[in-house]
Amino acid sequence: MTTLQVKKINLQNSYHQTAWQKILASENLRVEHHLSYTAGIYDGEQLIATGSLQRNVIKEIAILPHYQGGEVFNLLLSHLMSELSNRGFYHYFVFTKPMYQQTFEYIGFQKVAATAEACLLEKGNQSIDEFVKCFSKKEKGVKQQIGCIVMHANPFTKGHLYLIETAAKACAQVVVFVVEADEGMFSYQERIALVKAGTAHLSNVEVYGGGAYMVNFATFPSYFIEEEEQVIHYQTVLDATIFKEKIAPAINCTVRYVGEEPFSHTTNLYNQALKEVLLPEVQVQVIPRSASLDGQIISASKVREMIEAGASEKLADFVPATTRTFIQEKYHV
């Protein structure tokens, strides 16, 4: 098969786009947008295989049945991996169907977690086993509760503080993970600094970054799912499974705390998935939202709205003094 050629596919071109969509359809993959790079393998003029990158995630791998099983797959993956290293990514993921787990393990990927419907694998200079070594393992007492909270804290509000304080009262130790994905108004560095500053008075609370492994919605692809609701379900179940199998045992976590979510459908589904997956090994405590003095529900999205509108009057009701000072300095609000 010396005629095989690997090329970048230009998806702006409708001729190439049609050929690409056809090959995805033959493997029952959903057409995804926002891909950073798409490669194709051609046998003569015919597109016979494709794979894409979205940041550090390999996705949309499709190979025509006749060419499956070895050479074409290796050629395609070699190309995508050298493309990843050209882009400076040396830690990358594949999100795939469970049936392909072994295929990827064979070329050096390691499983992060698998559910009935999906499998996440990683390769490169970081791994989840290395990641969990950074945490100090807590003493496992008979009645000792070790609580855990994962939060985005964009930015850190009195609502987050209330959640952590509630956990800190009930548990011997509380570990807070801050989501690292930089998608929002406040950067990861800013967010984790504010969580640390806002919880400095609580001696049994530790704050860590969540790495690539906790609530990384942006990087968990889900292209082989038809419906939005299903997409969310897949991702949340996988996220919960990673927590249950890898994170919770590393810190001896016995209870995961989450905030009640009256507004966001996605977070609601996430809380549901956590209960589905974590029980009975890890308890799930849903804490009702706290309200500001005049009865308004506190949320980080409202804080961001206030900053954008330059409305400073109620900010001090919504965020702790440490966050208030930071907002003042950064946004002059």
Partner 1 sequence: MMEIKQTAMAGTLESSDIQITLTPIAGATEIHLDSSVGKQFGEQIKQVITETLASYKVEHVRVDAVDRGALDCTIQARTQTVIQRGLDQVDQVNWEVL
- Least Å from the CB of residue 62 to partner 1: 18
CB nearer partner 1, residue 109 or residue 177: 109
Query: Quick check: 290 and 164 in contact, CB under 8 A?
Result: no
- Least Å from the CB of residue 107 to partner 1: 5
- Least Å from the CB of residue 4 to partner 1: 10
CB nearer partner 1, residue 108 or residue 262: 108
Q: Which stretch of DSSP H or E encloses residue 54?
A: strand 46-54
Angle between helices 321-331 and 188-198 (to 10 degrees): 150
Q: Which stretch of DSSP H or E encloses residue 318?
A: helix 315-318
Count the residues in the chain: 333
Report the C-alpha gap between 155 and 165 in whole angstroms.
17
- Least Å from the CB of residue 75 to partner 1: 6
CB nearer partner 1, residue 82 or residue 325: 82
Which residue ranges make up the site for partner 1 (CB under 8 A)? 71, 74-75, 77-79, 81-82, 85, 90, 106-108, 123-125
Angle between helices 228-242 and 265-278 (to 10 degrees): 40
- Least Å from the CB of residue 121 to partner 1: 13
- Least Å from the CB of residue 122 to partner 1: 12
Please enumerate in sequence order all residues whose Cβ is within 8 A of that of 183, keeping only pairs 6 or more positions apart, or say none.
Answer: 218
Instruction: Compute CA distances 262 → 136, 232, 265, 268, whole Å.
Output: 34, 17, 8, 8
CB nearer partner 1, residue 131 or residue 326: 131
CB nearer partner 1, residue 30 or residue 79: 79
Among 233, 182, 178, residue whose Cα is nearest residue 206: 178
CB nearer partner 1, residue 53 or residue 194: 53
- Least Å from the CB of residue 185 to partner 1: 31
CB nearer partner 1, residue 77 or residue 278: 77
Report the C-alpha gap between 93 and 84 in whole angstroms.
11
